Amino acid sequence: MANQRKPTKNRDPNQITVTGIPGEDPGITVARAVLQPELLAAGTLREYGNAYGDLDLDGLIASLKEQTRASSGGDRKRADAMLTTQAHTLDAIFNKLARRAINAEHPDHFELSLKFALRAQSQCRATLGTLSAIKNPPAVGHVHQANIAHGPQQVINASAAPGDAPCAGAGENQNVKNELLEQTDGERLDTGTTCTPGRTDPAMATVGEVNGAEDRGR
């Protein structure tokens, strides 16, 4: 039967056990251990736990690691219990301060006590709200995006590069220009018809046919 290691008597409760990696620098090993959240929380618990005597650091760290492993695995029993008991504690603080306020003889003492009482009540409500959110997490919905345009839309086409095929509708634009030319008195523009000269400017009269050979002999 293997010999079991007996606990050391008069062990220092401030002493912690650090396990290093083979070949690792001792300073790095200690630094990693000191930065562990469980170790930091254990030191704080010891400061607030004087009513229970000198708590063993190694024991606190081991217990906190057990709780963090359970929480990481989805076990929320410890969180439920903690929030529930904290809500009851905050409710006790609220009632204590509310009674102190009503029995205060000085107005400043009344105001201060009632202020802290209502603050404890607010924290109690927030704690219960957090507990409810843990037990009943909000449902996550998937929203599908839809691009819906309201009103007229304008599409601007870039100019076609040389060699590109003509865009659909190009002929229609040319027809529109021709139709605009026909809007003047319902007639097309006719450049072959000679206009009758007016009296206001005789110099603009139509010039007759010019024969170069005959005109030189004159």
The domain in which residue 129 lies consists of 76-135
Percent of the chain's residues with pLDDT above 70: 57
Domain boundary among the residues 47, 75, 103 is at: 75
Tokens matching residue 4: 């079991």
**Running DSSP on this structure, what letter comes out for residue 203?**
G
Judge whether residue 39 has pLDDT over 80. Answer: yes
Tell me: the pLDDT tens digits for 41-75?
988 888 887 667 777 888 889 999 999 999 889 88
Average of per-residue pLDDT across 8-35: 80
Look at residue 123 and tell me if it is in a domain: yes
Judge whether residue 125 has pLDDT over 70. Answer: yes
Give me the long-range contacts of 38-47 (CB less than 8 A, separation at least 24).
38/64, 38/65, 38/68
The pTM score is 0.52
Question: Are residue 82 and residue 117 in the same domain, yes or no?
Answer: yes
94 versus 137: the higher-pLDDT residue is 94
Look at residue 38 and tell me if it is in a domain: yes
